[in-house]
Amino acid sequence: MPQETTVGPVARTQAAAVQSRKRVLAQELPTNPFVDVAMTLFLEDIAEKQGVEGLLAYMMSQGAALAESMPPEDYATWDDFVQAVNEGRSIFSALEGTEHFAGYCFVTPVKPFHEAIATYISLMGEMLKAHQDATDYYNGTVQNAAVESLDIIHQSFRRELVNRISVAGQPVRYAELGTKGYNGDVKLAPEGWLEVILEKAQLSLTQLQMAIRQNTSVIVIYPPEREVAREAEAAVLAPKVLGAEAGAGPEEAVTPPRAAAPEEKPDSNSGE
Amino acid sequence: MLDIAMFSLAADMAQKTGVGGVVDYWVRVGATYAQRIGTENFVGWPQFNIATNERRTSLTVEGPVRVLTDMAITDRDGGEIVGYVYALTEDPMVAVYNRWMGIMGQAIPPIDQQILDHYNENVRPTAVSSFDPCIQTFREQSASVLTVGGSQLDCLHIAARSRMGVRRLYEPSLKILNLEERYIVSLLRDHMTVYALVETGKFDLTGYVKANALRSS
C-alpha cells in the first residue's frame, strides 16, 4: 500500500476563508502590469548606464528597501504565524500569496511578477540579455538561487523581510529551497546543501519535488532554534561555482556592490 | 510587487541623483517603452478608433481608452476630420496607490509628490502622479510613430485628475484645439486623463511643451 504523503496542516474548513480573503485582495487590489513593465524598463536603463553590477546593486537595494517599508510583525506562537501567512494577513504573504506547504516549508503558487513578464513579452518580445547577465552575476557573487532576474528583487525582499517578523519575540529565519522561472526552468538549492535545508524544512526530497511542480517558489521559514551548525549555514549562502571564475568562499561575507549614482561607473574593486 | 517597489526605488535614486534625476529616468523610460512597442499604421480614423475601442493599439496598453466620437477635431476649414479627443477612465497609477495603501497600510511616500512637483515646476504643469512623466512621454512618443491614413500623429495632453481629485488642465492644448474648459472639467468627472490625437502639421503647436522637454536634470 503506498505510503500516505502529508502536504500540510491547513484545515479544509479554513481553506474557503483563505480563498475568499485572497479573492477579495485580488479583486480590490489588482495590479496594472503596464506599470510593472515600466519598472522593468527602468531597471534595463540602469543596466545600460551602470552595467550589470549597477543593475544588481539596484535590484537588491530595491527589494530590501521595499521590505524595510513594511511594518514589523510579532506572533505569539508559530501556529499563529503560519495561520496568518495562509490567510494573507502576514507581510510575508501580502504581496505574493505565500502558503504553508509542509513542515517549515512555504510556497508561492505564482510569482508576483510573472504577469509583468508576460505583459513585457507580449508588448516587446524577448527580454533583454541584461536580465540573464544580472541573474548569472547574482548567482555567481551573492547567492546561487535565482532562475530569472526579478528573483534578485524577490529574494532580497524576503531576506530583509524576515528581520521584521518575530515569533514569540524571536526573528524568524529564511532559506531558498527552489524556484521556477517564467520559462519553466527550475533551480533547487545547491547540491550538497539541499540535504541541510531539507532537514531544516522537515521536508523530504519527494515533497520538495511535489512543491516545485505545483508552485513557483519553495522557501523555508523557520524559528532560530532550528539553526544548524554555523559553518554549514554560511556555506548554504556561498555561491556555487558556475564556470572558471570562483565566487566567495563560505567564510567570507558576501555583500552586494553599492549602487552608484547614474553618472558614475561602479568601481568593481571597491567593496564593503 | 514591482509597481509598489517603485516608491522605494525612487526614494533611493532621489538620494543619489536628486529628484530631477528621477524625473529624467522616468521620461527616458516612457520614450523607451514607446520605442520598444513599435510603429503602427491604420488606414483611416474609423479603423484606428475601432482598434482603440477593442484595445488593439499601442496607446491602449495602459488601459481602456474611450474614443469621444462627439469630439472629432476638424481642420481650420472645418471640413476634414484630423483628430479626436480620447479619455481614460482610470490612470495606471491608481492601482499602484491602492495596492500600496492596502498592502503596506501606509500613506503614499512623500517622494511621489516631490517627483510630480518637480516635473510641474521644471517641465510643464501636467502631472498629477509621479508616474505621469513616464506615461505622458509614452503617449506622445507612441503617437509620433503611429500613422492614420498616412499621416503621422501628435498627442496633445489636455487634462488629468489625480486619485485624490486634483485637476490639472493644460492651457496651451485648450487654446490650440479651441476647447472649452467647462466641458473638459465635466469630462474629468468620469475620466482621469484626457488627450487629443491630431494629424501632424494641421495645427500650430507654438506654446505646447512636450512631455520630455527636460529643462533641468
pLDDT range class, residue B103, cuts 50, 70, 90: confident
Q: Which A residues in the span 113-172 are in contact with B, Cβ-Cβ below 8 Å?
A: 113, 116, 123-124, 150, 153-154, 157
The predicted model gives A33-61 an average pLDDT of: 92
The string of DSSP codes covering chain A is: -PPPPP-----HHHHHHHHHHHHHHHHHS---HHHHHHHHHHHHHHHHHHHHHHHHHHHHHHHHHHHHHSPPEEESSHHHHHHHHHTT-SHHHHTT--EEEETTEEEESS-TTHHHHHHHHHHH-SPPHHHHHHHHHHHHHT-S--SSTHHHHHHHHHHHHGGGEEETTEE-EEEEEEEE-TTS-EEESPTTTHHHHHHHHT--HHHHHHHHHH-SEEEEEE-GGG---HHHHHHHHSPPP-SSS----TTS---PPPPPPTTSPP-TT---
- Greater confidence (B78 vs B36) lies with B36
User: By mean pLDDT, which of A71-80, A243-252, B139-148 is the weakest?
Assistant: A243-252
Q: Is the pLDDT of residue B151 over 90?
A: yes
Choose among A66, A96, A123: nearest Cβ to B61.
Answer: A123
Select from A60, A92, A88 the least CA-distant residue to A172: A92
Given the cut 0.90, state whether the ipTM is greater than it: no
pLDDT range class, residue A30, cuts 50, 70, 90: confident
Contact B8 A39 (CB under 8 A): no
Round the average pLDDT of chain A to a whole number and report it: 79
CA A50 to chain centre: 24
Burial B29-56 (b: 16+ CB within 10 A, else e): bbbbbbeebeebebeebeebbebbeeee
Amino acid identity for residue B68 in this structure: L
Q: Which residue has the cell 523530504?
A: A204
pLDDT range class, residue A267, cuts 50, 70, 90: very low
What pLDDT is stored for residue A264 in this prediction? 39
Round the average pLDDT of chain B to a whole number and report it: 92
> Chain B residues with CB inside 8 Å of A153's CB?
1-2, 5
Choose among B11, B93, B103: nearest Cβ to A95.
Answer: B103
Q: Which B residues in the span 159-188 are in contact with A, Cβ-Cβ below 8 Å?
A: none
| Partners of A99 in the β-ladder | A107
pLDDT in tens, B155-201: 999 999 998 888 999 999 999 999 999 999 999 988 999 999 999 99
Q: Is the pLDDT of residue A2 over 60?
A: no
pLDDT range class, residue A19, cuts 50, 70, 90: low
pLDDT in tens, A126-167: 889 999 999 999 999 999 999 999 999 999 999 999 999 999
Q: Which residue has the cell 503647436?
A: B205
* Distance in Å, alpha carbon of B31 to nearest chain A alpha carbon: 10
Q: Kindly report the number of other CB atoms within 10 A of residue B144's CB atom.
A: 16
Q: Are B137 and B119 in contact (CB under 8 A)?
A: no
Cell numbers given for B158: 489636455
* Distance in Å, alpha carbon of B90 to nearest chain A alpha carbon: 11
Choose among A25, A95, A123: nearest Cβ to B37.
Answer: A123
Contact B37 A25 (CB under 8 A): no
Amino acid identity for residue B94 in this structure: V
Q: Kindly report the number of other CB atoms within 10 A of residue B113's CB atom.
A: 12
pLDDT in tens, A175-217: 999 999 888 889 999 988 899 999 999 999 999 999 998 899 9
* Distance in Å, alpha carbon of A73 to nearest chain B alpha carbon: 12
CA distance linking residue A105 with residue A200, whole number of Å: 9
Amino acid identity for residue A206 in this structure: T
Q: What is the pTM of this model?
A: 0.74
CA distance linking residue A131 with residue A257, whole number of Å: 17
Contact A94 B103 (CB under 8 A): yes
